[in-house]
């Protein structure tokens, strides 16, 4: 299993295919933000969502299963029905096996919080104060729209045939398959 935010994984496509022929290879991507400009702001120095989706499509076309992690979803920034709906629809189009999402929000430890607040001041002036008023020093910052967004997420995943129960996704990820051993057993 590989977890990435980069379409550069495709440089190793031949190797991934070789691994998958003999065993099981699953590539996992993090996707959080549909809008390209917002994606560049909240995830600088990584490729945008559309490039990652292109990589997901290529992997699927080559028979390599994929899983997406929809996390973090930042309250007041990308916690919109449109964002979640676009990402799930694109995952369905890319043939993603499953999407892992534990809730629409973000976690902030001491140290992380200070870094995050500096980034908010830099890119979203005034939003830090809203976070402080809404969440104080909490570790888990769920979107005020968490319940509605999670309902949308589950409904759209199920309608698209995407596995969205994280226990089921983890069972898939942890189910190891040695294709060579299976071929030998079938031979005898």
Looking at the structure, tell me whether residues 34 and 78 fall in a common domain.
Answer: yes
Looking at the structure, tell me whether residues 54 and 69 fall in a common domain.
Answer: yes
Other beta carbons within 10 Å of 29:
24
Looking at the structure, tell me whether residues 137 and 161 fall in a common domain.
Answer: no
Strand bridging mode 105-107 / 140-142: antiparallel
Looking at the structure, tell me whether residues 136 and 147 fall in a common domain.
Answer: no
Looking at the structure, tell me whether residues 89 and 168 fall in a common domain.
Answer: yes
pTM for the whole thing? 0.90
Residue 134 is assigned to a structural domain of this protein = yes
Looking at the structure, tell me whether residues 78 and 147 fall in a common domain.
Answer: yes
Looking at the structure, tell me whether residues 152 and 63 fall in a common domain.
Answer: yes
Whole-number pLDDT of residue 187:
47
Residue 187 is assigned to a structural domain of this protein = no
What DSSP letter does each residue of 62-98 carry, written as one string? TT--EEEE-----TTTT--HHHHHHHHHHHHHTT-SE
Task: Count structural domains, the chain.
Answer: 2
Looking at the structure, tell me whether residues 81 and 171 fall in a common domain.
Answer: yes
70 vs 156: CA distance, rounded Å = 14
- Structural domain boundaries enclosing 48: 2-104+143-181
Looking at the structure, tell me whether residues 60 and 135 fall in a common domain.
Answer: no
Residue 55 is assigned to a structural domain of this protein = yes
Looking at the structure, tell me whether residues 129 and 171 fall in a common domain.
Answer: no
Looking at the structure, tell me whether residues 116 and 97 fall in a common domain.
Answer: no
Residue 114 is assigned to a structural domain of this protein = yes
Whole-number pLDDT of residue 178:
61
Looking at the structure, tell me whether residues 84 and 160 fall in a common domain.
Answer: yes
146-176 per-position pLDDT tens digit: 999 999 999 999 999 999 999 999 999 999 8
CATH of residue 100: 3.80.30.10
Cβ neighbors of 160 (< 8 A, separation 6 or more) are: 88, 89, 91, 92
The mean pLDDT of 46-70, rounded to a whole number, is 96
109-133 per-position pLDDT tens digit: 988 999 999 999 999 999 999 999 9
> Residues, the chain, total?
188
Residue 97 is assigned to a structural domain of this protein = yes
């Amino acid at each position: 299993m590989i977890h990435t935010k980069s379409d550069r994984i495709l440089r190793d496509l031949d190797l991934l295919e070789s691994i998958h022929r003999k065993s099981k290879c699953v590539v996992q991507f993090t996707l959080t933000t549909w809008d390209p400009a917002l994606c560049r702001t909240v995830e600088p120095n990584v490729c945008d969502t559309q490039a990652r989706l292109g990589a997901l499509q290529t992997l699927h076309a080559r028979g390599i299963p994929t899983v997406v992690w929809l996390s973090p979803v930042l309250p007041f920034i990308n916690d919109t029905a449109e964002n979640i709906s676009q990402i799930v629809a694109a995952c369905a189009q890319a043939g993603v096996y499953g999407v892992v999402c534990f809730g629409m929000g973000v976690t902030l430890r001491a140290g992380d919080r200070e870094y995050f607040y500096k980034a908010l001041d830099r890119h979203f002036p005034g939003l830090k104060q809203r976070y402080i008023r809404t969440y104080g020093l909490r570790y888990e910052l769920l979107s005020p729209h968490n319940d509605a967004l999670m309902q949308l997420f589950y409904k759209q995943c199920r309608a698209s045939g995407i596995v969205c129960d994280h226990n089921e996704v983890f069972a898939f990820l942890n189910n190891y398959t040695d294709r060579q051993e299976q071929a030998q057993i079938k031979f005898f």
